[in-house]
Amino acid sequence: MRKKAAIYIRVSTLDQVREGYSLAAQEKALRKWCKEHGYEVYFVYADEGISGKDIDHRPGMKQLLEDVNGKRFNFIIVWSLSRFTRSVSDLYDTLELLQKYNVSFVSLTEEFDTSTAMGRAMVGICGIFAQLEREITSERISAAMEERASQGKRTCNEVLGYDLDGKDSLKINEAEAERVRYIFNKYLEYKNLSAVAELCRLKGYTGKRGRVQTAESIRKILTRPVYAGYNSYCGQIYKGNHPAIINVETYNKVQRFLEKSIVGRRLQRQYKKLNTTI
């Protein structure tokens, strides 16, 4: 088989603004390497604006692995291991697949390849550190978001009833706030999510992006503490700096009725189940 190489390139949203990480820059450097080493480029597989934390959500990577099975090339080259994957388990599974089909793997900037035992070992070690970096970054982001919430700053980017107010807060969108108040008031009147969704449909009240309201979307609106002037993050509630659309008493009253409705449905299911066994 001729020396055929598959090029894989990837950028996440953050990487796109970093010098040297653009798709075009990666492809140019990798094509140059292939030419210098006598490899014919079979295809350039690319994923743009997608995280490297797993493979399932990357169409370019999935197509690459399918073509490995088809034995369409005998070499894969990437800009760096972090462009390929940041998951250690995905890395090991992929290396096992490549070894099965005798496909070598090279990282340009880290200068190792899997055609040697030492190269395979180095890839595994680097993979562990790539995953560690991703997990540490995730922890830092989570801590930063929790700190924002504790300071009363917004924890969402889009919510019916509000517009963004700078980078930290929200301001009421009166036209949308009218829909929110209507939903809370009608639920207290009918105590039925589907009924409220139908009433919204009849009045032409939609969600933030113009979608027709459903029982589930109504439930989500009713359970958002943002409407009572609070922010939520990871199950915790924090007093927000933004103005409330409804008062706390109304919000809490709705939550009590919702809880009763959930318990009632559970009991009804249990009753039906018992009846079928008698």
- Residue 115 is a catalytic residue: no
The string of DSSP codes covering 111-150 is TEETTSHHHHHHHHHHHHHHHHHHHHHHHHHHHHHHHHHH
Where helices occur in 191-247 by DSSP H, the ranges are 193-203, 215-222
Asked if 221 and 180 count as a contact pair (C-beta separation under 8 A), the reply is yes
Asked if 155 and 169 count as a contact pair (C-beta separation under 8 A), the reply is no
Per the DSSP assignment, residues forming a β-bridge with 212 are 206
Q: What are phi and psi of 76, to 5 degrees?
A: -125, 130
Query: DSSP character for 164?
Result: E
Active site residues: 12
